Amino acid sequence: MLKAIRSSEAKLVILAGDASDNTLKKFRDKCGSYKIPLVIGFDRESLGTSVGKPERVVLAVTDQGFAEMISKKMETMSEVEYIE
């Protein structure tokens, strides 16, 4: 995941709201440094279910169009903290 952020392959990162404080800080710092939009919300079970996998703490979206679509949808949801 960090490799996708460092290479700017990630166009959007989604981080579970129940991630550890250390993980939250790490991804906030990395996404901020590399100017990758970050969404914090939901929980690890919801993120995993959304991609058909077991629990996931972080997801990277690599398709620009898909990232834009998700970002627009997230702006209207109250259960997420959106960080640009």
Which DSSP string do the residues of 15-56 spell out, in sequence order? Answer: EETTS-HHHHHHHHHHHHHHT--EEEES-HHHHHHHTTSS--
Q: How confident is the model over 7-29, as a mean pLDDT?
A: 95
42: closest CA among 19, 23, 64, 25? 19
Q: Distance between CA atoms of 82 and 49, rounded to whole angstroms?
A: 20
For the entire predicted model, the pTM comes to 0.87
pLDDT tens-digit series, residues 24-80: 999 999 999 999 999 998 899 999 999 999 999 999 999 999 999 988 887 776 556
